[in-house]
Amino acid sequence: MASKGILKNSASSRMPPQGQGAAGGKPPPAPPSAAAPTVVFGRRTDSGRFISYSRDDLDSEISSVDFQDYHVHIPMTPDNQPMDDDDVTAARAEERYVSGSLFTGGFNSVTRAHAMDKHDGAGAGRRDAGKGAGACMVEGCDARAMRDARGDVVLPCECDFRICADCFADAVKAGGAACPGCKEQYKNTEWEDLAGGEVTRALSLPRGPAGANGGHKMERRLSLVKQGNANQGGEFDHNRWLFETKGTYGYGNAIWPQDGADDDGAPAGPGHPKELLAKPWRPLTRKLRIPAAVISPYRLLVLIRLVALAFFLMWRIKHQNDDAIWLWGMSIVCELWFAFSWVLDQLPKLCPINRATDLSVLKEKFETPTPNNPTGKSDLPGIDIFVSTADPEKEPVLVTANTILSILAADYPVEKLACYLSDDGGALLTFEAMAEAASFANLWVPFCRKHDIEPRNPDSYFNLKRDPFKNKVKPDFVKDRRRIKREYDEFKVRVNGLPDAIRRRSDAYHAREEIQAMNLQREKMKAGGDEPFEPVKIPKATWMADGTHWPGTWLQPSQDHARGDHAGIIQVMLKPPSDMPMYENIKEKSPLDFAGVDTRLPMLAYVSREKRPGYDHNKKAGAMNALVRASAIMSNGPFILNLDCDHYVYNSKALREGMCFMMDRGGDRLCYVQFPQRFEGIDPSDRYANHNTVFFDVNMRALDGLQGPVYVGTGCLFRRIALYGFDPPRSKDHSPGFCSCCLPRRRKASAANPEETMALRMGDFDGDSMNLATFPKKFGNSSFLIDSIPVAEFQGRPLADHPSVKNGRPPGALTIPREMLDASIVAEAISVISCWYEEKTEWGIRVGWIYGSVTEDVVTGYRMHNRGWKSVYCVTQRDAFRGTAPINLTDRLHQVLRWATGSVEIFFSRNNALFASSKMKVLQRIAYLNVGIYPFTSIFLIVYCFLPALSLFSGQFIVQTLNVTFLTYLLIITITLCLLAMLEIKWSGIALEEWWRNEQFWLIGGTSAHLAAVLQGLLKVIAGIEISFTLTSKQVGDDVEDEFAELYIVKWTSLMIPPLTIIMINLVAIAVGFSRTIYSTIPQWSKLLGGVFFSFWVLAHLYPFAKGLMGRRGRTPTIVYVWSGLVSITISLLWIAIKPPSQAANSQLGGSFSFP
């Protein structure tokens, strides 16, 4: 280090030896023959602190002598990093440049950074209040002024007099707490309140030859740590540290308390070694088994019903109905399929479990001071949260903005969170709405932290139908809530007005362009004179607020600016926060008092991947893979949370609960943690089973007892390394077994498809022998992305705090601050979201979200389970996430159609569970097999729903007579079904009404959407016809009086024809059956009773469908009746033609009908 000073001498001057300087060394001795030089270093303040003179001071005060510059070279030590401050300053400047620029680029185009007006989380009024020159204004002091954790100047006085921390201490101690500038008393003399509280400084060792970015973070963990007050907002105080003796060197940032006390003399706290050793090891999660009094009878009833079904089917096959062999044949085929389908659905439910987490243990292990983490900084791994949207017209931006706000306010270490919004439509409306959300987050997020608000979605919070003041004890809560409500109302007005604002702005700029072009043309005509006048045609562009063209999709699509043809865009709207809390300054320009509240915001980035004609963009799966690559370069969180734009964080601690499973013993073998989907805005009766509680609370809990629940597309916390397609650690040591509640089997040789398993396993990361040469073929040619893979694997490991924890990481390894963003990082992120990047790689094939199905979520989860990974179902006491669901009948049917079509695609692909590897448990394989098979049940279900009508028309039944044996079997099967339902309700916690609604919609969907899905799937397999679906519209509005207006809207769709036909034919059949029996000479009441009973069974299940067709006032489209009537008449005429009535019946009824 070179320290500059001033030497005064009359004849000559000598350089002092190395290691001595103005602050710590003595002046060099003069030669005996020469006069001793007089050295003037500076002056001493009233408090005893020494301040060096500046050149201006010396010129004015001691101008009669000569001066000479000298340099003192101090050796490099952990507390002497001469370039650190310059590097930090440059890095901060670079980071501000990145967060203030819009990056674009892509195929055959140069990556560009467009400087823009800031829309980040600072808030212009608050962050810019203290900006200015950085030097202290005290005469004779040229030190840097006090700065906070952001690096912004702190002004302790209202006169805006800049002052360094040491001069501030002098003014408080010796100057009577008077400002040196205006001589007024300081209103606040506590540095902690001014700069944001206590700060912990970690001083890195000298960097290696690789430079600032070349060394690995783990190579810089040896440090000298001192816990105390911040000085100069991040600038190192050399005078203070040159004579510091309490700091100790050690690995892992360890400060060992001496003599049973900490640095301040207080008794040893929770971080003391003796205290830590005395604590027993506690797990983060627990398995809660279903009570034996419930699960044992449940399994017994499954066995009884299985045996009863076997005997019943055998009896049915042996006892044919010779009078109606065709009716018997159709019924027996359907019943065989129903039995097979029931077995596939029931077997995976044999081992249900519940789980519980302990957040206090998580805090104790990862956020409590320990010898390896003396400051108590969070040691939790980072999480990258993905929010996907594609069309702002069908997915309102206000809904998306509320989701983003709930994420930014989540209760998780701020520096460990990063939120990425994927706008697959490239719309300026979404971009500007997110900028508005980032600005409003400055008030909303600290408000949530200050008053512990739940939920942290502002729209949901202000629409709560409970007392908002319950359990709120702070006296200023009412005032704060009123102000935030007013600010949110203004925020909604701005967001809802963005479409018109963008349109008016674009029209104004376009008119100006046209006028300029016309003026230019006129000037050319005047100059040339002979050129004919032609109308000016300028493409109508969409303009941003800074007067530049929007690089994404324009309101009027044009070349390079259409929904499927635009450049890649990345905008860091909220830059990564510092690793230290930043507290609001008192009396600062802020509408609310956030004193003592951490006001930092997580990183927020807008991403719109590049799209070009001729490239398959793979819809949502392609957008998710683009986010995986971009986030790996920009933040590289070892875990990824995927949320739809209409699913917000309802429980702010949900991320911590999910992390309990990932960080627990054996958590390194978990590929993802799936949270249940919960919905808002559903009608109280849940007419169309939108809550889907049977699936989320019965099936998913049961799968949790096997290899884990399936991935359902949202609310899922992924392990990044599992998405990269690697096998789980110690995969050779684990055998799949039958289920988790059964004894494991001896492992046989793996029969996995080599294309399904990557050559590298997780264990390959343990050492220097990792072969990275094969990575470009799998992940692409981005060196940034490839280098991030082993880092993400290491950071995602659980703590090695117990001998049984394998593949763990040392405690305290993740407390180091994250690296700042620079332009090269964002430029690389632009490169990896380009349309050509995935060519000749394994993205979408074995890496990331898997392509080739409209239900990419199920396929992606299946591939992970097929490699031997496990997943966990996390049901929190308070719902983790909440979203919206379509309550309109037509929208609901189209949603079910998309799910069923994806299942058919899975069945006809190599992702069929029949081809699963031996790493998948047997019952898990059966569950995935059922996922691909269930739509085919619709064929047999429709036939079976027509059987009662055919029976009533023909006067026959599926059995020849209703004898005791048939009725006994039927009674046993029905009773066991009801008992199984009761026990499922018991161990899952659902309501009986929810179970019945699920049964009803199973038949509604099975007779409509599932049948169409089978036909579409067959067309795709046989004819190669691609299937396309439109987005489900998400409704948003403030019309509280008509909350369920969508429920009563009847939209015609061809999916309504089959169930409506079934209803009408069964009603006609019941009337015909009664008429025949009443007027028959020998009434067959038993056959009539059987047919009518099954017809009512069908009609009871279709009742919600019929009620939905009635709308609000019984209005039904005429086309519905026309089609249903035509189909019913056609079937009736065909039946009469095939089996006309007997002559005796004709004579009694007065004639017969025959085709001409």
- Binding site for UDP-alpha-D-glucose, residues? 388, 394-395, 424, 619
E strands along 327-469, which residues? Answer: 353-357, 383-389, 417-423
Residues annotated in the binding site for Mn(2+), as ranges? 620, 644
Tokens of 1030: 């439109």
Q: Of 57, 170, 857, 879, which is the active-site residue?
A: 857
| CB-CB contact of 208 with 217 (8 Å) | no
| CB-CB contact of 1132 with 1071 (8 Å) | no
| CB-CB contact of 676 with 700 (8 Å) | yes
Residues annotated in the binding site, as ranges? 388, 394-395, 424, 619-620, 644
In degrees rounded to 5, what are phi and psi of residue 185? -70, 140
Please return the burial class of 713, using the count of CB atoms within 10 Å of its CB with bins 0-12, 13-18 and 19+: buried
The whole-angstrom separation of Cα 1154 and Cα 1156 is 6
3-state secondary structure of 67: strand
E strands along 623-731, which residues? Answer: 639-644, 648-649, 670-674, 678-680, 716-719
| CB-CB contact of 943 with 1072 (8 Å) | no
| For residue 352, cis peptide bond before it (omega within 30 degrees of 0) | no
857 is catalytic: yes
CA distances for 704 relative to 725, 804, 927, 1146, angstroms? 22, 23, 12, 63
Amino acid letter, residue 661? F
Residue-level length of the chain: 1156
CA distances for 98 relative to 228, 444, 494, 572, angstroms? 32, 24, 26, 7
Q: Of 57, 79, 152, 424, which is the active-site residue?
A: 424
Please return the burial class of 1037, using the count of CB atoms within 10 Å of its CB with bins 0-12, 13-18 and 19+: exposed
How large is the C-alpha radius of gyration of the chain?
Answer: 37
Q: Which of 383, 269, 1149, 427 is nearest to 720 (CA)?
A: 383
3-state secondary structure of 103: strand
What spatial distance separates the first Cα and last Cα of the chain, rounded to whole Å? 111
| CB-CB contact of 633 with 720 (8 Å) | no
Tokens of 762: 């997780």
424 is catalytic: yes
Crossing angle (nearest 10°) for helices 498-528 and 477-496: 40
The whole-angstrom separation of Cα 67 and Cα 65 is 7
Q: Which of 784, 935, 886 is nearest to 341 (CA)?
A: 935
CB atoms within 10 A of CB 454: 18
670-674 and 870-873 strand pairing:
parallel
Please return the burial class of 279, using the count of CB atoms within 10 Å of its CB with bins 0-12, 13-18 and 19+: exposed
The whole-angstrom separation of Cα 709 and Cα 881 is 17
383-389 and 417-423 strand pairing:
parallel
Tokens of 507: 């029209």
Q: In what order do the strands lie in the sheet with 716-719?
A: 109-115, 101-106, 568-574, 603-608, 417-423, 383-389, 639-644, 716-719, 670-674, 870-873
The whole-angstrom separation of Cα 993 and Cα 998 is 9
Contacts 24+ apart (CB under 8 A), 289-298: 289/353, 289/354, 290/352, 290/353, 290/354, 290/987, 291/987, 294/983, 294/986, 294/987, 295/352, 295/987, 297/979, 297/983, 298/980, 298/983, 298/984, 298/987
E strands along 533-669, which residues? Answer: 561-562, 565-566, 568-574, 603-608, 639-644, 648-649
| CB-CB contact of 542 with 549 (8 Å) | yes
Task: Enumerate the active-site residues.
Answer: 424, 857
